[in-house]
Amino acid sequence: SQQGEEDPQALSIQEGENATMNCSYKTSINNLQWYRQNSGRGLVHLILIRSNEREKHSGRLRVTLDTSKKSSSLLITASRAADTASYFCATETSGSRLTFGEGTQLTVNP
Amino acid sequence: DGGITQSPKYLFRKEGQNVTLSCEQNLNHDAMYWYRQDPGQGLRLIYYSQIVNDFQKGDIAEGYSVSREKKESFPLTVTSAQKNPTAFYLCASKLKTGVSGQPQHFGDGTRLSIL
């Protein structure tokens, strides 16, 4: 079953703008992870936020987690054309498996 | 360089045929996973293995089979019982079994189509 729902399904912005993607989930989690997928390729891990954390940064990425609302957001600042990809959230409730959302397709126009 | 290698990149299946997708990792990871991705959708878990000679069904295991005879290898067989096998198949691994908070590492996928 798909625990994560992502919003929006697709996002198109201009280079230099910020991109925000949201993820909602249904059950309690240990952590939430964000992955990136370039067209026709495998997923690449971007950032992980644990259930006791509220915000985390990595370079141009900022992730927030609100466990009371069961939601997370991924912010990409100063976007570049190379950021064009699909972005997926994934939740981990035990140490054995992840449950992925449907993804947000981000297009950054030069 | 360590990583996960999936082969072949493209695969075609005839009606009634079983096909096997290869997944090999040299990361010394304990856990391995197989996912199916349909166009414009997220990943759905087919099977996963936390240790050699053991594996568990995921959410969509029907029509698929796996084996884990070696730590490095986790092949997936798409059987003739899988009536809609056309999809992008992704293999992943994780360092330690049963430990939360570790990322999964992915191969570059196999695209399977019906002839």
Q: What is the DSSP letter of A6?
A: E
Q: When comparing pLDDT for B103 and B115, which is higher?
A: B103
A103 touches chain B (CB under 8 A): yes
What distance in Å separates the CA atoms of residue B86 and residue A24, rounded to the nearest whole number?
29
Token pair of A26 as six digits: 């249904």
Q: Which residue has the higher pLDDT, A13 or B83?
A: A13
Quick check: A57 contacting B, CB < 8 Å? no
Asked if B87 is an interface residue toward chain A (Cβ–Cβ < 8 A), one would say: no
Would you say residue A92 has pLDDT above 90? yes
- Reported as a single tens digit per residue, the pLDDT across A25-78 is 999 999 999 999 999 999 999 999 999 999 999 999 999 999 999 999 999 999
Interface check B39 vs A, CB under 8 A: no
Residue contacts between A and B (CB atoms, under 8 Å): 69
Q: Do A102 and B42 touch (CB under 8 A)?
A: yes
Q: Is the pLDDT of residue A3 over 70?
A: no
- Torsion-angle region of residue B40: left (phi > 0), alpha (psi -120 to 50) or beta? left
Q: pLDDT value at position A95?
A: 72
Which residues from chain A sit within 8 angstroms of residue B90, using beta carbons?
A: 42-43
pLDDT of residue A10: 95
Kindly list the residues from chain A whose CB atom is less than 8 angstroms away from the CB atom of residue B89.
none
C-alpha to C-alpha distance for B10 and A66, rounded to whole angstroms:
41
Residue A66: predicted pLDDT: 97
